[in-house]
Amino acid sequence: MPMTTPITTRQSVISLDAVSKRYGTETVVSEVNFKIRTGECVVLVGHNGAGKTTLMKLMLGLTRPTSGEVNVLGRNPAAGTAVTQHKTLGYLPESVAFYDAMSGREVLAFYARLKGVTNRHCEHLLESVGLVDAAKRRVGTYSKGMRQRLGLAQAMLGDPQLLFLDEPTTGLDPGLRHQFYELIDTLHKKGATSVISSHALNEVEARANRFVIMKAGVMIASGTLDELYLQAALPVRLEVSVAPGEAASVAERLGSNINIAEIGNKTLRLSCFNGDKMPLIRRISNLGDVVEDLQIMPPRLDEVYSHFMNGEPS
Amino acid sequence: MKILWILTMKELRDGFRNRWIAAAIIVLGILALVLSVLGSAPTGSIRASELDVSVISLASLSVYLIPLIALMLSFDAMVGEFERGTMMLLLTYPVTRWQVIMGKFLGHVLILFIAILVGYGGAVVAMTLVTGSSAEGWQAYVVMMASSMLLGAIFIALGYLVSVLVKERATAVGAAIGLWLVFVVLYDLLLFGALTLDKDQLIGQHLFSMLMLISPTDTYRVLNLSSFEGVSEAAGIAGVASEAGLSGILLVSAMLLWVVVPLAGTLLVFQRREL
For residue A213, what are the CA distances in angstroms to A17, A33, A199, B79, B132?
16, 12, 10, 34, 80
A199 pLDDT above the threshold of 80: no
Q: Where are the domains of chain A?
A: 7-100+141-230, 235-298
Is residue A259 within 8 A of residue A270, CB to CB? The reply is: yes
B6 interfaces chain A, CB cutoff of 8 Å: yes
Is B274 in CB contact (< 8 Å) with chain A?
A: yes
| B1 near A CB under 8 A | no
Q: How far is B176 from chain A (nearest CA, A)?
A: 23
Q: CA distances (Å), B91 to each of A97, A114, B99, in order? A: 13, 11, 10
Q: Check residue B116 and give its pLDDT.
A: 93
Picking from A60, A63, A113, the nearest residue to B92 by CB comes out as A60
Q: Of A62, A115, A154, which has the smallest distance from its Cβ to B91's Cβ?
A: A62
Q: In 3D, which of A158, A16, A165, A35 has the Cα closest to residue A78? A: A16
Interface touch B94/A86, C-beta < 8 Å: yes
Interface contact flag, A60 B3, Cβ < 8 Å: no
Q: In chain B, whose CA is at the least distance from the CA of A82? A: B94
Per-residue burial over A158-192, b if 16 or more Cβ lie within 10 Å, else e, is bebbbbbbbbbbebbeeebeebbbebbeebbeeeb
**A102-118: pLDDT as tens digits:** 999 999 999 999 999 98
**In terms of CA atoms, which chain A residue is nearest residue B3?**
A114
Rounded Cα–Cα distance for residues A281 and A303 (Å): 23
Our count of domains for chain B comes to 1
Q: What is the DSSP string of B140-197?
A: HHHHHHHHHHHHHHHHHHHHHHHHHH-SSHHHHHHHHHHHHIIIIIIHHHHHHHHHHH
Please answer whether residues A236 and A298 qualify as being in contact, where contact means their C-beta atoms are separated by less than 8 angstroms.
yes
Q: Can you spell out the DSSP letters for A257-307?
A: SSEEEEE-SSEEEEEE-GGGHHHHHHHHHTTGGGEEEEEEEPPPHHHHHHH
Asked if the Cβ–Cβ distance from A97 to B85 is below 8 Å, we say yes
Domain that residue B79 falls in: 2-272
Q: For A60, phi and psi rounded to 5 degrees?
A: -85, -10
Query: Topology of A235-298 in CATH?
Result: Alpha-Beta Plaits (3.30.70)
Per-residue pLDDT tens over the stretch B2-41: 999 999 999 999 999 888 889 999 999 988 888 877 766 6
Name chain B contacts of A29, Cβ cutoff 8 Å.
none
Q: Which of A139, A195, A191, A142 has its CA nearest to residue A168? A: A195
Q: What is the pLDDT along chain B (275 residues), one digit of tens a residue?
A: 899 999 999 999 999 988 888 999 999 998 888 887 776 665 554 555 667 777 888 888 899 999 999 999 999 999 999 999 999 999 999 999 999 999 999 999 999 999 999 998 888 888 777 766 665 677 888 888 999 999 999 999 999 999 999 999 999 999 999 999 999 989 988 888 888 887 777 777 778 888 888 889 988 988 888 766 666 666 665 555 555 667 788 889 999 999 999 999 999 999 988 88
Query: Do residues A255 and A283 make contact, with C-beta atoms less than 8 angstroms apart?
Result: yes
Name the residue among B127, B156, B157, B95 with its Cα closest to residue B31: B127
With CA atoms as reference, report the closest residue to A192 among A10, A41, A11.
Answer: A41
> By CA distance, what is B82's nearest residue in A?
A97
Could you say which of 2.60.320.10, 3.30.70.100, 3.40.50.300, 3.30.360.10 is the CATH number of the domain covering A7-100+141-230? 3.40.50.300
ipTM, interface predicted TM-score of the complex: 0.86
- Beta-strand pair A26-37/A12-23: antiparallel
Q: Is B261 on the interface with A (CB under 8 A)?
A: no
At residue A10, what is the residue type? R
Residue of chain B whose alpha carbon sits nearest to that of A157: B93
Interface residue of A110, A165, A166 to substitute, partner B, most B CBs within 10 Å: A110
